[in-house]
Chain A
Amino acid sequence: MAKKKSRTPKSLTFTVPLGQEAHQMADRFRQRQFSLKQGKQVYLNTLAVYAVNFYLQCMGFDTDKSNSESYDRAIQTFLDVADLAIKEVGTFECRPVLPDEEILRVPQEVWQDRKGYFAVQFDRALKKAKLIGFVRQVRTEEIPLSQLRSLDGFLRYASQLQNSVKLNQWLNDIFDTGWDAVESLLSPPQMAWRGSQNRGFALRGSPTQIERVKRLTLARSGEEVALLVRLKPRTDREMGIGVEIYPTGDRTYLPQDLQLMVLDEAGAAVMQAEARSTKNIQLKFSGETGEEFSIKVALGDTSVTEAFLI
């Protein structure tokens, strides 16, 4: 398919029409409030959550109202929250931005336990809500709108989280397609050095370590390698992680200059190794439940990235 780069707008936004459904819900929640100030806040919070929920459904995410505090009566009374949980991704905050305001206000109550924050700006008639931007973290009550990231950043981030390999499921013997038993892809010559000590599961009892392998194709070069990931649960929260790259088929060596990188949550390389005349590359590290990382395999200017959630 010919890739014609269409013009990308400077900043991606999303506009949501606010009809009866949105306003009726906002009014219903407002009717329980104690004061004008609370009532106004809850009304706007509800419209903001409605708008983000609409956006997410258009984008093919599943939201989870039962895990969102903004729908909870008791919480509405005591806290200024406008959260919305997205299945497989996490909880996001949807903050209203008043018409003509240049600032996103985020109350301190919601600085923790959020994967990110949407800024939802209203028109004066409250007929439209515009998702104008997004931030991952908040450490101050006021954020100038000019510092927001585009929704493009949200889509990339949330899609990656949603599609990431959930490593804790491996402990329950649940594997995404493409992640196969090591023997299915790597044959004895490649594995010879490993001896027989690491065969995944002990025959009986709990797994001491789990390993799976996935075939990666480096698009343009057509080179293929096998990515092996090994887990060793250490404590309740801590997991030892080993990452290895092997040649596939009957090849003995990895492609020259192939790079293996471990990236942190923000996408910065924290570990790196490179193939010379190498049969395999290994990196080892550990992480805690809930942490995200990615593995990037690069050759020249092509690369493949796999995202993981511990």
Chain B
Amino acid sequence: MSEAKDKDPIDEQLNQLAREAGGHPPRSYERRKALNRLVEKILASGRLGHPQRSSFPLPSAIYEDLYDEALSATLMEMCQKIEQYDRTKDVMAWCNFLLTKRFIDAWTKYQRGGVGSVPQEKASLFIRPSFEDLDGWQPPQKNISQSEQLKQLIEENPDNMFGKEYVRGQPQATFQFLAMAKIWQDRKWKEISSELNVPSSSLCEFYKKQLHKFKPFFKEYLQV
């Protein structure tokens, strides 16, 4: 096999990593490490193709969205089928070939209306919020009333179900008390710990154990 002399060194590095990954057995540390490095290098290579925007008349936010969807599908496919890498070709050629295919898949799905598991009549994508946008979210009204109901339930404590057990030596440290403090008073474990004079690790473990006990109950309750 003769390698062209003027080959870009980045291609050679990527090809080498792909060969290395494919050369180690599937569950080995060595294959995983080579795959991890391969993916990072591909993303940083500046060699990823972009399906021509003019062929896909889409608002740019949607184009980017579909592109990211296609890119993740491509990377996953390469990792899982690394044995199928054709050593006579450049990894980036393979990668960009798959990327175009996966982009068309994503685009077709979008055209048909709805992406992922949401079959919708209106072909609208969920607009990805930015980090700052997260602060603009408000819980739906029904959640607020559900929260109130749950709070009331725990306060009313039917049959003392949330108050029977407590952290050893501190009868105040019940699930009722801890859930109220954590969820509706937004208090820190450290604070509660110094108020009740119980190590926060004991409080935390107790709370978790109790929660698992009540899980089926809450599950049903929250199903509404």
Q: Do A and B bind each other?
A: yes
Q: Which A residues are closer than 8 A to B by beta carbons?
A: 1, 4, 6, 9, 12-21, 23-24, 27, 30-40, 43-44, 54, 57-60, 72-75, 77-79, 98-99, 108-109, 111-112, 122-127, 151-152, 155-156, 159-160, 162-163
Report the separation of the CA atoms of residues A58 and B37 in the bound assembly, to the nearest whole angstrom: 12
Q: Which residue on chain B has the smallest CB distance to residue A36?
A: B137
| Other A-B pairs beyond A36-B139, A98-B131, 16, CB < 8 Å | A12-B33, A12-B40, A16-B72, A17-B68, A20-B69, A20-B126, A35-B139, A40-B137, A58-B80, A72-B215, A109-B207, A123-B131, A124-B132, A126-B128, A126-B129, A152-B33
24 contacting pairs across A/B (C-beta < 8 A): A6-B13, A6-B20, A12-B37, A14-B39, A17-B69, A19-B69, A20-B65, A20-B128, A23-B126, A24-B116, A24-B126, A31-B140, A34-B144, A35-B147, A43-B129, A58-B80, A74-B222, A77-B150, A77-B183, A77-B222, A78-B183, A108-B200, A108-B201, A124-B130
CB distance from A165 to the nearest CB of B (A): 14
Contact between B33 and A58, CB atoms less than 8 A apart: no
B122: interface (CB < 8 Å) = no
Q: Is the interface of B mostly helix, strand, loop or mixed?
A: helix
Residue in contact with B33 in the complex, picked from A27, A33, A126, A155, CB distance below 8 Å: A155
CB of A20 within 8 A of CB of B125, answer yes
CB distance from A80 to the nearest CB of B (A): 9
A19 to B62, CA, bound (A): 10
Report the Cα distance A163→B32, complex, angstroms.
13
Q: Is residue B92 within 8 Å, beta carbon to beta carbon, of the partner chain?
A: no
User: B residues within 8 Å of A by Cβ?
Assistant: 13, 16-17, 20, 23, 26-29, 31-33, 35-37, 39-40, 43, 64-66, 68-69, 71-72, 75-76, 79-80, 115-118, 125-126, 128-132, 134-135, 137-140, 143-144, 146-147, 150, 179, 182-183, 186, 189, 200-201, 204-205, 207-208, 211, 215, 218-219, 222
Closest to B138 in A: A36
The 7 A-B pairs with the shortest beta carbon distances in the complex, nearest first, are: A19-B69, A34-B147, A159-B29, A58-B79, A17-B68, A19-B68, A74-B218
Q: Which of A44, A58, A159, A160 contacts B75 (CB 8 A)?
A: A58
